[in-house]
Amino acid sequence: MANVSGAARTGAPRRIAMLSVHTSPLDQPGGGDAGGMNVYTLELARQLAASNVEVEIFTRATSSDLPPSVEAAPGVTVRNVIAGPYESLTKDDLPSQLCAFTSGVLRAEANREPGWYDLVHSHYWLSGQVGWLATERWGVPLVHTMHTMAKVKNLALADGDRPEPHTREYGEEQVVAAAHRLIANTHDEAAQLTQLYGAEPEKIETIWPGVDLDVFTPGPQASARARLGLPEDAVVLLFAGRIQPLKAPDVLVRTAARLVAVDPSLRERLVVAIVGGPSGTGHERATDLHRLVGTLGLDDVVRVHPPVSQQQLAEWYRAADLTVVPSYSESFGLVAVESQACGTPVVGSAVGGLRTAIAHDRSGLLVTGHDPGAWSRAIIDLLDHPERFRQLRTGAVEHASRFGWDVTAARTLEVYAEAWQRHRADQLGMVSCS
């Protein structure tokens, strides 16, 4: 007798296959290919599991030491699929391994009772390609989250950065057409899906990513600085994230040079903390940032730290006066919300999802363009007006409180249920017409 799926019994999906091909949710965010998507995938899965939904996350094994599966949380299993050599592949190499990865995913389902998974949720276009095939084989709906899009990134390249290949653009178009539902992080992203990829508007649901409001909380700045070895009277500007041209840490370094040029006395107290590791094309230009710091004579001002845990990152946010997010493109900007949840305002680029993540003049400031002069003026204006700064700190916490993971998960469950019910109705309609 065929297995009756959890969805058929309850009217909503109860077993989800999540796909995250190019980066594991267990990897440390902030370096390599690990970033906000890692946090998103794992935290969403945890919240879904708390709602009695079983989640299995399939990702590519990057070490022979990894076990076939890991329990990431109660109800959440991460499955490490062998697809290609372990350590030597970059994200650009992975399309050649999608067949091997798909085989591993299908094999895992074949070892279950028929109808085991109710729905596939894929993250990033590589996973969408695998999800497209898996859902056709299993007869279940595909929900897809883009996270970033090649056409959007290519419209806002940093100077000297390499554009995303046309093969990725074509692959994304295929996934958009194949998905039963698309989850956009912001209304901007939803518009980009329709305008640049021809997505059907009725297939798109906008759901903000969340932030762990139990980890990212306000706390005494002086205590955080003491634990991190920062002077109590310092002016601390923080960049947190992957070091690559797209994220533009160089803009912060150039801004720091402008700040000390305008006010030389600031040099004694200014600390620019860059917490993260090289990623993407940043690997090809790994020494550029250090060279820029030396050229501008800021070796005594700029401190570069490797990626840290979420708990340690929260300490950096609390220690900072401002978090600076000068990205050329952001689908959302999780760093901005994490910082605000800790009570630290954000100065960010007026691009993409940052226009949602930051409430301009209430929780931080949005700056148009990447001219260091404009960025330095925005920062100086805040430093010169302590009362406005205090208001932004209060507004930052209030704004971030809207982005809890419980809300994200609840909205996502609604999309799952709608996708599953519509898909099942379509299948029944096809059967009745045959």
**Which amino acid would we find at residue 339?**
S
* Per-residue pLDDT tens digits for 241-264: 989 898 999 999 999 999 999 999
Q: What is the mean pLDDT of residues 362-375?
A: 97
Annotated binding site for 1D-myo-inositol 3-phosphate: which residue ranges?
22, 33-38, 91, 124, 148, 168
Annotated binding site: which residue ranges?
22, 28-29, 33-38, 91, 124, 148, 168, 242, 247, 308, 317-318, 320, 330, 338, 344
27 pLDDT band, cuts 50/70/90, is confident
Question: How, if at all, do strands 76-81 and 69-73 pair?
Answer: antiparallel
Q: What is the mean pLDDT of residues 287-291?
A: 88
28 pLDDT band, cuts 50/70/90, is low
* Per-residue pLDDT tens digits for 123-153: 999 999 999 999 999 999 999 999 999 999 9
Q: Is the pLDDT of residue 395 over 50?
A: yes
Q: What is the mean pLDDT of residues 28-48?
A: 79
Annotated binding site for Mg(2+): which residue ranges?
317-318, 320, 344
3-state secondary structure string, the chain?
CCCCCHHHHHCCCCEEEEEECCCCCCCCCCCCCCCHHHHHHHHHHHHHHHCCCEEEEEEECCCCCCCCEEEEECCEEEEEECCCCCCCCCHHHHHHHHHHHHHHHHHHHHCCCCCCCCEEEEECHHHHHHHHHHHHHHCCCEEEECCCCHHHHHCCCCCCCCCCCHHHHHHHHHHHHHCCEEEECCHHHHHHHHHHHCCCHHHEEECCCCECCCCCCCCCHHHHHHHHCCCCCCEEEEEECCECHHHCHHHHHHHHHHHHHHCHHHHHCEEEEEECCECHHHCCCCCHHHHHHHHCCCCCCEEEECCCCHHHHHHHHHHCCEEEECCCCCCCCHHHHHHHHCCCCEEEECCCCHHHHCCECCCEEEECCCCHHHHHHHHHHHHCCHHHHHHHHHHHHHHHCCCEHHHHHHHHHHHHHHHHHHHHHHHHHHHHHC
Q: Is the pLDDT of residue 295 over 90?
A: yes
| CA 36/CA 404 separation, integer angstroms | 15
Q: Is the pLDDT of residue 369 over 80?
A: yes
427 pLDDT band, cuts 50/70/90, is confident
Mean pLDDT of the chain: 91
Q: Is the pLDDT of residue 281 over 80?
A: no
Q: What is the pLDDT of residue 161?
A: 82
10 pLDDT band, cuts 50/70/90, is low
Annotated binding site for UDP-N-acetyl-alpha-D-glucosamine: which residue ranges?
28-29, 36, 242, 247, 308, 330, 338
Domains assigned to the chain? 15-210+405-432 (3.40.50.2000), 221-401 (3.40.50.2000)
Token pair 């295929």 is at which residue? 174
- Give the residue with greater pLDDT, 62 vs 323: 323
Q: Model's pTM, two decimal places? A: 0.87
Distances (CA, A) of 299 to 240, 256, 304: 18, 11, 10
